């Protein structure tokens, strides 16, 4: 069974003040993200003090979910590693625990690479077809590291195809501010990249 495994890792978590408070905040964010995600097979679950994971059946909405998590824990940063491949065990629909297989192995390898390269986003599959995607995500990681919470939320809204009017109302900022964020960070292009990556992930799942 081919799935998308996601492993998140909080950057410099041991240096966070009031770690227990942050972990409660993280759990709330992950629960909210799970509640709004359309294609989760196994919900976002904290697995260690500074790690969490989930399993998707389809990639639609994956990057919107990822950027929502990044926004809601801002200014704390998280690495997100995505592995696409087989699952050797049964899906656990209650929590993302007790599962194993190549999808998780690839996500774990991607996370190791993120830690070594000091980047935030990576996709890894069984072949070499994700090399270009990783270079694109390296560029995006470089940008995202300096983004504000509002910019991340504007991107989330655009990824969910929300009209600018809805984004403006939801964030309680001016329409000018929304468009300023879009232009300054080329968010239209970022949306295009993320949607193309989701389509590529879905193609791998269909071809399995």
Number of domains in the chain: 1
Distances in Å between the alpha carbon of 144 and those of 54, 68, 114? 22, 13, 14
Q: Angle at Cα 66 formed by Cα 61 and Cα 67, nearest 5°?
A: 100
Q: How far apart (Å, rounded) are the C-alpha atoms in residues 3 and 10?
A: 23
Structure tokens belonging to residue 6: 């996601």
Is this structure's pTM higher than 0.85? yes
pLDDT at residue number 44: 97
Residue 26 belongs to domain with CATH number: 3.30.70.1230
What are the pLDDT digits (tens) for 66-119? 999 999 999 999 999 999 999 999 999 999 999 999 999 999 999 999 999 999
Q: Is the pLDDT of residue 127 over 90?
A: no
Range of the structural domain that residue 128 is part of = 2-207
Q: How far apart (Å, rounded) are the C-alpha atoms in residues 132 and 26?
A: 31
pLDDT band with cut points at 50, 70 and 90 for residue 41 = very high
DSSP code of 163?
A: -
Report the residue count for the chain.
Answer: 208
pLDDT at residue number 208: 66
What are the pLDDT digits (tens) for 13-34? 888 888 889 999 999 999 999 9
Nearest to 54 by CA among 87, 19, 21: 87
């Amino acid at each position: 069974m081919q799935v998308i495994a996601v492993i998140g890792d909080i950057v410099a978590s041991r240096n966070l003040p009031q770690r227990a408070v942050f972990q409660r905040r993280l759990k709330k964010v992950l629960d909210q993200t799970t509640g709004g995600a359309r294609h989760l097979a196994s919900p976002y679950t904290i697995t260690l003090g500074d790690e969490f994971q989930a399993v998707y059946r389809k990639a639609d909405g994956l990057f919107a979910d990822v950027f929502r998590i990044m926004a809601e824990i801002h200014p704390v940063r998280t690495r997100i590693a995505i592995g696409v491949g087989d699952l050797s065990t049964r899906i656990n629909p209650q929590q993302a625990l007790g599962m194993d297989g190549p999808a998780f192995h690839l996500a774990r390898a991607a996370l190791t690479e993120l830690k070594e390269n000091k980047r935030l986003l990576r996709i890894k599959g069984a072949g070499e077809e994700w090399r270009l995607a990783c270079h694109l995500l390296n560029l995006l990681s470089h940008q995202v590291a300096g983004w504000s919470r509002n910019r991340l939320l504007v991107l989330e809204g655009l990824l969910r195809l929300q009209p600018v009017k809805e984004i403006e109302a939801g964030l309680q900022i001016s329409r000018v501010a929304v468009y300023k964020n879009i232009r300054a960070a080329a968010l239209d292009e970022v949306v295009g990249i993320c949607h193309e990556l989701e389509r590529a992930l879905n193609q791998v799942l269909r071809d399995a």
